Amino acid sequence: MTNLTNNKAVLSWIDEMTAITKPDKIVWITGEEEQLDALREQAVKEGILIKLNPDKLPGCYLHRTDPDDVARVEDRTFICCEKEEDAGPTNHWVEPKEMYERMYALADGAYKGRTMYIIPYSMSIIGSPFAKYGFELTDSIYVVLNMHIMTRIGKAVCDALGDDEGFIKGLHCQCNLDKDNKYIVHFPQDNTIISMNSNYGGNVLQGKKCFALRIASNLGRQEGWMAEHMLILGIQNPRGEIKYISAAFPSACGKTNLAMLIPPEGLQRWGWRVWCVGDDIAWLRVGKDGRLWAVNPENGFFGVAPGTSMKSNPNALISTHKDTIFTNVALDLSDNTVWWEGLNKTPPARAIDWRGRPWTPQSPEKAAHPNSRFTAPARNCPCLSPEFDNPEGVPISAIVFGGRRAKTAPLVYQSFNWQHGVFIGSIMASETTAAATGRVGVVRRDPMAMLPFCGYHMGDYWQHWLDMGKKIPKPPKIFNVNWFRTDEDGNFAWPGFGDNMRVLQWIISRADDEIGAAETALGYEPNTHDIDMEGLEMSMYDMRRLLSVDRELWLQECEDAREYYEKIGKVPPELYEELDALEMRLNRGYKVKHE
């Protein structure tokens, strides 16, 4: 097939990778539907995909991965920069030359008898000021078809890149899926990603966490922008005005639910609604108007299936009803559709489980893998923002951090300023649940929800946040939320889900300086009557408790944060200043009466 580009740097690199991997055939992915349809047919014929019921799930397919290849693997993920200290204590590091030798030894002849697919892809809208272009070489049709959903692919990418040598290089070899030789490796100085011996999405759809966060976070530091593990959400008020927020949450904290939130009926009647710009990743740049602007660099959703239902997240479920690839869910034999735990209360009488074995409701194991996934086009989402394809992005009024804390963090508070907000993000944490570990309340720090995804030293990352604050003439205000506060009986004290809209209303009002607040040791909190409680079975007393600050717990939190900073090292002095100031406010017995 004719090359899609004349870019000498691209072609030279492809020749080099071809000489190592030795494919029988090379196919450039054009992005044309005719080519993609032929690949889908081939995947079904080869047993890579199972075509689902065309009447109920048009254009949808099921895929099963190797049972040992079902999730991201942090211990096999490496940042190979020149100096180990630049990777920092939160990343695995190997010297680049040594790692290249190891990778190329595994890749040697890995495509013999196979096809090399060359995927030109764009993160963000092609031609956007935010856009970055890459090429992923793969021997997996599954990767090609998923990258088509998750990114913008094809000839238009090559045309936009032209002769520019600043593209991201990506090599993926399935090899024999040897779990002892599985690697997801990033070389920031070369803008190169290599995935070996995996075919699970998060490891091999290189546009996702590999490029959009690990490589892009490093590019952002060099070029003066930010790549963040954040959803982007538009909040429309009854006057039709839309304000945008970006928000970072560790896993199991309701990120996708918030990205596609449906407001309570009462608020909907008033004219409140939510628009989803992105559910996972935000790239942020300072705009000409001095505000921070964001795009979602992805083009689809790579969501966790179990627990997704018409009750928990109808917009996400509706997004999967056409042109979606399901991975490691169950096949319902009654109508050739899919099923997973939490989809509904009526499991299929007969199914094939995620491993390909017969399954019934009496089977001892789960039908779907707990990390089973759907790859769905963003265009399917009923609440997709009209600004989704705007190459300039959307202006951000507020940045929100959150975690799962039973007693410590109040429902919501606002930072005093940008530097204080960076401090709040740097000590972000969630407590484990019994289901996760058997130990309840173990605090796991996950700064800005970027712990597994930051492509360089976490201390340098915090410094970049502080530096960015000085470059944004009109910075967004920074908030912290906690939907998971519990009462004495261990029950959630806040209803969550759609009712989180009530907190977002206060956040937007504060971002626009439309409403007052109470100053506490932590930051600014709502006055009790400023959260809309109409239709909630809650008293003002309940709300006051949700907003209360336990001094002893927070002094312990400060101690824990100080220990964490010592482990990270290279912590900017401004963050120690904020920590000292918080301790001082707590020790002064900062008592505030919420009006």
For residues 121 and 100, state if they share a domain.
Answer: yes
For residues 125 and 137, state if they share a domain.
Answer: yes
Answer positive or negative: Cα dihedral of 325, 10, 127, 203: positive
Q: Which of 175, 197, 223 is the last residue of a domain?
A: 223
Number of structural domains in the chain:
3
For residues 400 and 370, state if they share a domain.
Answer: no
* Residue 68 is assigned to a structural domain of this protein: no
For residues 273 and 210, state if they share a domain.
Answer: no
**Domain with 341 in it:** 300-380
Report d(CA 139, CA 25) in Å as an integer: 10
For residues 453 and 491, state if they share a domain.
Answer: yes
For residues 403 and 451, state if they share a domain.
Answer: yes
Please report the DSSP string for 127-139 in residue order.
Answer: T-TT-EEEEEEES
Q: Which of 380, 400, 422 is the last residue of a domain?
A: 380
Give Cβ neighbours of residue 146 (< 8 Å, ≥ 6 apart): 201, 205, 302, 325, 375
In Å, what is the CA distance from 358 to each residue of 61, 96, 327, 351, 369? 19, 46, 17, 6, 14
CATH of the domain at 315: 2.170.8.10
CB atoms within 10 A of CB 323: 19
Active site residue 454: no
Which of the residues 173, 175, 210, 253 is marked catalytic? 253
* Residue 333 is assigned to a structural domain of this protein: yes
Question: What is the SS3 assignment for 370?
Answer: coil
For residues 335 and 416, state if they share a domain.
Answer: no
* Residue 291 is assigned to a structural domain of this protein: yes
Which residue is associated with the tokens 């940042």? 79
Report d(CA 365, CA 439) in Å as an integer: 23
CATH of the domain at 509: 3.90.228.20
* Residue 38 is assigned to a structural domain of this protein: no
For residues 280 and 242, state if they share a domain.
Answer: yes
pLDDT string in tens for the chain (595-residue length):
689 999 999 999 999 999 999 999 999 999 999 999 999 999 999 999 999 999 999 999 999 999 999 998 999 999 999 999 999 999 999 999 999 999 999 999 999 999 999 999 999 999 999 999 999 999 999 999 999 999 999 999 999 999 999 999 999 999 999 999 999 999 999 999 999 999 999 999 999 999 999 999 999 999 999 999 999 999 999 999 999 999 999 987 889 999 999 999 999 999 999 999 999 999 999 999 999 999 999 999 999 999 999 999 999 999 999 999 999 999 999 999 999 999 999 999 999 999 999 999 999 999 999 999 999 999 999 999 999 999 999 999 999 999 999 999 999 999 999 999 999 999 999 987 544 334 556 899 999 999 999 999 999 999 999 999 999 999 999 999 999 999 989 899 999 999 999 999 999 999 999 999 999 999 999 998 999 999 999 999 999 999 999 999 999 999 999 999 999 999 999 999 999 999 999 998 765 555 5
Whether the pTM exceeds 0.95: the reply is yes
Please report the DSSP string for 275-332 in residue order.
Answer: EEEESS-EEEEE-TTSBEEEE---SEEEEE-TT--TTT-HHHHHHTSSS-EEES-EEE
* Residue 42 is assigned to a structural domain of this protein: no
In Å, what is the CA distance from 128 to each residue of 133, 283, 424, 572? 11, 12, 32, 33
* Residue 1 is assigned to a structural domain of this protein: no
pLDDT tens digits along 246-273 = 999 998 788 999 999 999 999 999 999 9
* Residue 46 is assigned to a structural domain of this protein: no
Answer positive or negative: Cα dihedral of 31, 32, 36, 38: negative
For residues 511 and 399, state if they share a domain.
Answer: yes
List of E strands, 64-131: 77-79, 115-123
CATH of the domain at 191: 3.40.449.10
* Residue 261 is assigned to a structural domain of this protein: yes
Q: Which of 190, 223, 256 is the last residue of a domain?
A: 223
Give the chain's largest Cα–Cα span. 73
For residues 351 and 314, state if they share a domain.
Answer: yes
Closest CA to 244 of 262, 256, 259: 259
For residues 527 and 579, state if they share a domain.
Answer: yes
CA 41 to chain centre: 31
For residues 82 and 131, state if they share a domain.
Answer: yes
Lookup: tokens for 104: 């190329």
